[in-house]
Amino acid sequence: MKNFILLLSFLGLVSFLKSQSCADCRYSAYVFDSVTVTNVKFGEGMNADGQNQELFMNVYQPVGDTFALRPVVIFAFGGGFINGAKEEGYVVGACERFAKAGYVAAAIDYRTGIDFVSAISDPLGEMSRVFFRPMQDMRASVQHMYWHADSAGNTWRIDTNMIIIGGASSGGITAINVAYCDKAAEFAMVGNINGINSLGGFYSTSGLHPSYSWRNNGVINIAGGTFNTTWIEAGGVPVISAHGDQDQTVPYGGGSLNLGILNIGLEGSYNVKQALDSLGTCNYLFTMVGEDHPSGSASQEYFDQIFNRFMPRMKAIVAGQDFCCNLNTEIVEGDSLQVTPGATVSLTASVTGQSGTPDYLWCGIPCPGTVQTTPTISATVPYTSSYYINIVTEGNCLATDFIWFAEPVLVSAENLPEQEVIAFPNPTQGEFVVNLQGNSAQKIELSNLMGQKLWERNVNGLSTVRLDISQLPAGIYPLSIQSGERVEVIRMVKN
Q: Specify the pLDDT at position 286.
A: 97
Does the residue 69 lie in any domain?
Answer: yes
Q: Specify the pLDDT at position 317.
A: 97
Whether residue 346 is found in the same domain as residue 241: no
Does the residue 23 lie in any domain?
Answer: no
Whether residue 100 is found in the same domain as residue 230: yes
Which residues, in sequence order, are CB contacts of 241 under 8 Å at separation 6+?
172, 220, 221, 222, 224, 269, 272, 273, 283, 284, 285, 286
Chosen domain end from 376, 408, 440: 408
Reference 168, options 55, 39, 297; nearest CA is 297
Q: Specify the pLDDT at position 79.
A: 94
Whether residue 143 is found in the same domain as residue 158: yes
Whether residue 93 is found in the same domain as residue 195: yes
Phi, psi of 313 (to 5 degrees): -75, -35
Whether residue 139 is found in the same domain as residue 232: yes
For the chain, the maximum distance between any two Cα atoms, rounded to a whole number of angstroms, is 77
Does the residue 80 lie in any domain?
Answer: yes
Asked whether the CA dihedral 277, 283, 288, 291 is positive or negative, the reply is negative
Whether residue 116 is found in the same domain as residue 245: yes
Q: Specify the pLDDT at position 406.
A: 65
Q: Which helix (H) or strand (E) holds 330?
A: strand 328-331
Whether residue 61 is found in the same domain as residue 208: yes
Residue type, 63: V
Residue 468 belongs to what domain range?
Answer: 415-494
- Helix-helix angle 300-319:89-100, to 10 degrees: 40
Whether residue 194 is found in the same domain as residue 340: no
The tens place of each residue's pLDDT in the chain, 495 residues long, gives: 333 222 222 222 232 333 335 678 899 988 898 999 999 999 999 999 999 999 999 999 999 999 999 999 999 999 999 999 999 999 999 999 999 999 999 999 999 999 999 999 999 999 999 999 999 999 999 999 999 999 999 999 999 999 999 999 999 999 999 999 999 988 888 888 888 988 999 999 999 999 999 999 999 999 999 999 999 999 999 999 999 999 999 999 999 999 888 889 999 999 999 999 999 999 999 999 999 998 766 767 788 889 999 999 999 999 999 999 999 999 998 888 777 656 678 889 999 999 988 999 988 775 655 566 788 887 666 544 478 889 999 999 999 998 887 655 433 333 434 445 567 677 777 777 777 766 677 788 888 766 677 777 777 766 677 777 877 877 778 888 887 766 777 777 777
Whether residue 289 is found in the same domain as residue 431: no
Q: CATH number of the domain at 395, please.
A: 2.60.40.10
**Residue 403 in contact with residue 333, Cβ under 8 Å?**
yes
Whether residue 384 is found in the same domain as residue 245: no
Helix (H, G, I), strand (E, B) or coil at 297: coil
Whether residue 129 is found in the same domain as residue 163: yes
Strands of 35-46's sheet, edge to edge? 35-46, 52-62, 104-108, 70-76, 158-168, 218-222, 239-244, 283-288
As for how many domains the chain has, the answer is 3
Q: CATH number of the domain at 472, please.
A: 2.60.40.3080
Q: CATH number of the domain at 234, please.
A: 3.40.50.1820
Chosen domain end from 365, 382, 408: 408
Whether residue 351 is found in the same domain as residue 421: no
Q: Specify the pLDDT at position 324.
A: 97
Does the residue 26 lie in any domain?
Answer: no
Which residues, in sequence order, are CB contacts of 446 under 8 Å at separation 6+?
453, 454, 455, 456, 467, 469, 477, 478, 479, 480, 492
Does the residue 179 lie in any domain?
Answer: yes
